[in-house]
Structure 1
């Protein structure tokens, strides 16, 4: 039998329940993986709460790492015994064993352990597409300032390090002095405690009044207006999450008045639309981690049985870096 965490109805962390279910053999194009560790992400909370609806009952979880047990017909890039890791837009990683599409599954280099692999795929490839693909119309050059909200979280700490490797001046925001110090220790050029500072005024001061070319924002409602006010003319507002709630409707005319701004709402899984694109992004992530330029901070570990507490801590913003469930 296979131990899983599932929800039968949406709601709070108390809806996360352990169950034992059978797992079968992989069909064509599928693979069966025995997990060694599973990543925890804020999107899991959106699925649990119903903000991003799923057919119920549902097993949550978007990333994991483990060993291939079996492959189905047509799978050529994997074989039984391979060490693998993945991020997938079809939830289901909160379990010991799962059968899933082989398309998003990538071989995990021997130099990267399972916990790191489970923690880094969704967050690391998110940082990759933001810094490498989600770019302002004028591009990004070494020395340019970018603003990154929630910079002490899993995506943020990876982005701080990767931005430094690219020569960018990343301005981090976080909700405590300790989290700001963590962002600075991981490569942020500046850090702003948004609970004690006006981040718009601080960004303008740091940039000599010019503003930044791009804002990377996973917070949503609480930072939206301020983020727009941090951008220079033709700047890009790159929204990729709603940790504080969805952004309310706004008039496009606001973008013109604030400097002919651009707005995009990005999702990782649009970037992972093909096997080739997934592998290329994973290879870029594996390379920067193996080089030591980016270190993956697994700061919290919870047994699968403690998943309710893991969700409570994540939503209370008590976590830093990456969080995993252990099996």
Structure 2
């Protein structure tokens, strides 16, 4: 049995629900490996689970987090795809806020030698989200005009660079001049400061009244239904998060009224459901990062013990780019 520091919750609640404790970690079971984290990614979904907006998978106590990177330290029976010492990372697996953990080998990808483990930990969820949104939810290309809310956020900064590399015209929204400047430096052709400008009017102006092909919206309550008013007829609204709060139930008739629109609520988990999908998504992400077309911005780091402060800064919109916890 190995001892590990971890951040867990025993019930849904505020930031004070996060407990820094010591847990026991058994030897890895068949099909599992044990890893020692070098870095852990912090994502909005973590706050959704903490507050109860999403249920805690598996119940309580629940070790927070879904993304990390580290080194394999032990192998369970039957594992042949990995070796002790391998540098690995993963997205979308519960239990990341800890020093040491066991995890199914099938959920891990090997990290290329020229990508740091800190970069890997900070880009798996966000970078893979950008990958499926731009390549599979809506196939972005040179003819695409898109709007991406929260352009200075972790997914937004990756998506802006990636969409530009795909040849798209990239419009974003951000809050305040510093975040507008940051987004403009990461692929966006135009960035609207939603704190002082009406983003619907600005999008109409930028597109000569036509609207955009697709709106990527992780904000939720504060941007709906105005996001629909930014779309061309038969455009797509991709709602992939709700950082400002959940959207009230909608009457599907609004999609007809606003131009026979399409709407989807995608999630990364459904796009990496098989080992092949996971590997293909990771390969695309690693390739675009290694090509330098996309740079991962790690703008905030916190000790593992200060996870509550990381959550506070994320929820209070004080962060930009990627946030890491360091064990």
Q: Can you list the C-alpha shifts for 1:198-230, whole angstroms capped at 9, x where unaligned? A: 000000000110000100000011101110000
The residue aligned with 1:50 is 52
Partner of 1:41: 43
Separation in 1 of the partners of 2:155 and 2:235? 22
- Whole-angstrom CA distance in 1 between matches of 2:41 and 2:287: 20
Match of 1:326 in 2: 326
Name the residue aligned to 1:131: 134
Q: Could you tell me whether the CA contact under 8 Å between 1:34 and 1:69 is conserved in 2?
A: yes
List per-residue Cα deviations over 1:153-191 (Å, max 9, x = no partner): 000000010011000111010111110110000010100
Shift of 1:71: 2.1
How far apart are 1:23 and its partner, in Å? 0.6
Q: Which runs of 5+ in 2 are unaligned?
A: none
Q: TM-score, normalised by structure 1?
A: 0.97
Alignment of 1:263-274 (within 5 A): 263-274=263-274
Q: Deviations over 1:120-174 (max 9, x none)?
A: 0000000000000011xxx543042100000100000000100110001110101
Verify: 1:95 aligned to 2:98, yes or no: yes
Deviates more, 1:173-182 or 1:315-324: 173-182
Kindly state the Cα deviation for residue 46 of structure 1 after the two structures are TM-superposed. Answer: 0.5
* Deviations 1:271-295, CA, capped at 9 Å, x for gaps: 1101110000001000100111000
Tell me the residue number matched to 1:160. 160
Q: Distance in 1 between matches of 2:250 and 2:51?
A: 25
Deviation per CA, 1:7-37: give whole Å up to 9, x if none. 1111111111111111111112211110001
Counterpart secondary structure, 2:107: coil
Q: Distance in 1 between matches of 2:68 and 2:148?
A: 26
Q: In 1, Cα distance between the equivalents of 2:264 and 2:223?
A: 15
1:120 lines up with 2:123 in the alignment = yes
Q: 1:225 matched to which residue of 2?
A: 225
Structure 1: gaps spanning 5 or more residues: none
* Mapping for residues 140-179 of structure 1, pairs under 5 Å: 140-179=140-179
Give secondary structure in 1 for the equivalent of 2:41.
strand
1:6 maps to what in 2? Answer: 8
Match of 1:298 in 2: 298
In 1, Cα distance between equivalents of 2:212 and 2:77: 50
RMSD: 0.9
- The SS at the match of 1:324 is strand
Contact 2:64 2:97 in 1 (8 A): yes
Is 2:41 the counterpart of 1:19? no
